[in-house]
Amino acid sequence: MIDRAALSEALGLPPAVAQELIDLFGQFAREQFPILLRACAEENRDLLRESAHALKGSALNINLDPIATTARALEKGASTEPWPELKNATQDLIALIDAEL
Protein backbone atom coordinates (compact mmCIF):
# COMPACT_ATOMS: atom_id res chain seq x y z
CA MET A 1 0.00 0.00 0.00
CA ILE A 2 1.08 3.52 -0.71
CA ASP A 3 2.16 5.51 2.36
CA ARG A 4 0.06 8.53 1.55
CA ALA A 5 1.55 10.72 4.28
CA ALA A 6 5.10 9.98 3.11
CA LEU A 7 4.11 10.57 -0.49
CA SER A 8 2.48 13.88 0.40
CA GLU A 9 5.65 14.95 2.18
CA ALA A 10 7.94 13.73 -0.62
CA LEU A 11 5.92 15.64 -3.21
CA GLY A 12 5.66 18.71 -0.98
CA LEU A 13 1.89 18.76 -1.40
CA PRO A 14 -1.03 18.90 0.99
CA PRO A 15 -2.43 15.43 1.69
CA ALA A 16 -5.65 16.15 -0.21
CA VAL A 17 -3.73 17.12 -3.35
CA ALA A 18 -1.45 14.08 -3.08
CA GLN A 19 -4.54 11.89 -2.72
CA GLU A 20 -6.04 13.47 -5.82
CA LEU A 21 -2.87 12.64 -7.77
CA ILE A 22 -3.00 9.06 -6.52
CA ASP A 23 -6.65 8.83 -7.55
CA LEU A 24 -5.87 10.21 -11.01
CA PHE A 25 -3.00 7.79 -11.41
CA GLY A 26 -5.27 4.94 -10.35
CA GLN A 27 -7.86 5.93 -12.92
CA PHE A 28 -5.23 6.21 -15.66
CA ALA A 29 -3.59 2.93 -14.67
CA ARG A 30 -6.86 1.04 -14.70
CA GLU A 31 -7.59 2.43 -18.16
CA GLN A 32 -4.29 0.86 -19.25
CA PHE A 33 -5.22 -2.64 -17.99
CA PRO A 34 -7.34 -3.60 -21.02
CA ILE A 35 -4.69 -2.15 -23.33
CA LEU A 36 -1.97 -4.23 -21.67
CA LEU A 37 -4.14 -7.33 -21.84
CA ARG A 38 -5.03 -6.71 -25.47
CA ALA A 39 -1.35 -6.24 -26.31
CA CYS A 40 -0.63 -9.62 -24.72
CA ALA A 41 -3.56 -11.34 -26.41
CA GLU A 42 -2.51 -9.97 -29.81
CA GLU A 43 1.20 -10.36 -29.02
CA ASN A 44 1.66 -6.73 -29.99
CA ARG A 45 5.07 -5.68 -28.67
CA ASP A 46 4.71 -2.02 -29.67
CA LEU A 47 1.39 -1.61 -27.87
CA LEU A 48 2.73 -3.37 -24.78
CA ARG A 49 5.84 -1.19 -24.74
CA GLU A 50 3.82 2.02 -25.20
CA SER A 51 1.39 1.20 -22.41
CA ALA A 52 4.16 0.13 -20.02
CA HIS A 53 6.06 3.32 -20.87
CA ALA A 54 3.01 5.47 -20.10
CA LEU A 55 2.51 3.71 -16.76
CA LYS A 56 6.19 4.07 -15.90
CA GLY A 57 6.15 7.80 -16.59
CA SER A 58 2.96 8.42 -14.68
CA ALA A 59 4.20 6.43 -11.70
CA LEU A 60 7.52 8.29 -11.68
CA ASN A 61 5.73 11.63 -11.70
CA ILE A 62 4.27 10.89 -8.29
CA ASN A 63 7.11 8.83 -6.80
CA LEU A 64 5.42 5.42 -7.06
CA ASP A 65 8.78 3.72 -7.49
CA PRO A 66 7.74 0.05 -7.18
CA ILE A 67 5.15 0.51 -9.93
CA ALA A 68 7.57 2.52 -12.08
CA THR A 69 10.29 -0.12 -11.69
CA THR A 70 7.94 -2.94 -12.65
CA ALA A 71 6.57 -0.99 -15.61
CA ARG A 72 10.13 -0.13 -16.72
CA ALA A 73 11.08 -3.81 -16.72
CA LEU A 74 8.01 -4.65 -18.80
CA GLU A 75 8.75 -1.81 -21.20
CA LYS A 76 12.33 -3.01 -21.71
CA GLY A 77 11.32 -6.65 -22.00
CA ALA A 78 8.61 -5.93 -24.55
CA SER A 79 11.20 -5.81 -27.31
CA THR A 80 12.84 -9.17 -26.79
CA GLU A 81 11.37 -11.31 -24.01
CA PRO A 82 9.29 -14.38 -24.91
CA TRP A 83 5.55 -13.91 -24.72
CA PRO A 84 4.94 -16.25 -21.75
CA GLU A 85 7.29 -14.10 -19.65
CA LEU A 86 5.73 -10.88 -20.92
CA LYS A 87 2.25 -12.12 -20.11
CA ASN A 88 3.35 -13.04 -16.58
CA ALA A 89 5.07 -9.67 -16.15
CA THR A 90 1.92 -7.91 -17.33
CA GLN A 91 -0.18 -9.77 -14.77
CA ASP A 92 2.40 -8.92 -12.11
CA LEU A 93 2.21 -5.22 -12.97
CA ILE A 94 -1.59 -5.21 -12.88
CA ALA A 95 -1.58 -7.04 -9.53
CA LEU A 96 0.98 -4.61 -8.10
CA ILE A 97 -1.06 -1.59 -9.13
CA ASP A 98 -4.20 -3.12 -7.65
CA ALA A 99 -2.37 -3.91 -4.40
CA GLU A 100 -0.78 -0.48 -4.11
CA LEU A 101 -3.93 1.48 -4.83
Are the C-beta atoms of 86 and 41 separated by less than 8 Å? no
Question: What are the sequence ranges of the domains in the chain?
Answer: 12-100
pTM of the predicted model, to two decimals? 0.92
Q: Is 53 helix (H, G, I), strand (E, B) or coil?
A: helix
On average, the pLDDT of the chain sits at 95
CA separation for the pair 96, 18 (Å, rounded) = 20
The CATH superfamily label for domain 12-100 reads: HPT domain (1.20.120.160)
- Which pLDDT score is estimated for 1? 78
How does residue 7 score in pLDDT terms, banded at 50, 70 and 90? confident
The pLDDT tens digits of the residues spanning 16-63 come to: 999 999 999 999 999 999 999 999 999 999 999 999 999 999 999 999
